[in-house]
Amino acid sequence: MSTITRRQALGVAAVAAAGIAAAAPAAARAVRTPDAAPAAAAAGPAAFDEVFEGRRIKGGPSHGGAHHGGHHGGGYAVHIDGEELHVMRNADGTWISVINHYEPLATPRAVARAAVRELKGAPLVPLTLV
């Protein structure tokens, strides 16, 4: 009966690991970008209007009258109790706001909810540029 040496076992393991490493990026792309994703990404995030923890949060496409004309938010505006929450879309598709600048979230709705939680009942003060 033939026995496998330690060197042969390590060689097989190294080849298997290299194969898995080579296949991982392709598998990740397939998971992140299903067939419907490009159309949904082109359309932008869904609009919302809800009461969350007692605060009215609204989000939707901006029409040029927003704080920066939609430059950072990609043409999307978010409001808490009628006051604009300055949002920005990151290069990786996540969103941040002036309140949770270091906590990127998946959608503007998630950013608005996180801001409401962080405000803890305090009013949102409009962002003014000096």
Hey, what long-range contacts does 98-102 have (CB within 8 A, 24 or more apart)?
98/127
For residue 108, give both structure tokens: 């503007």
Q: Report the pLDDT averaged over residues 33-46.
A: 56
- Residue among 121, 55, 125 at smallest CA distance from 85: 125
3-state SS class at 48: strand
Four-way CATH pick for 40-119: 3.40.50.300, 3.30.70.1070, 3.40.50.720, 3.30.1880.10? 3.30.1880.10
Q: Report the pLDDT averaged over residues 78-106.
A: 93
Q: Report the pLDDT averaged over residues 3-30.
A: 65
Reported confidence tier of residue 107, pLDDT bands at 50, 70, 90: very high
> Per-residue pLDDT for 11 more than 50?
yes
Q: Report the pLDDT averaged over residues 90-99.
A: 94
pLDDT in tens, 49-84: 999 999 999 999 987 544 444 445 568 999 999 999
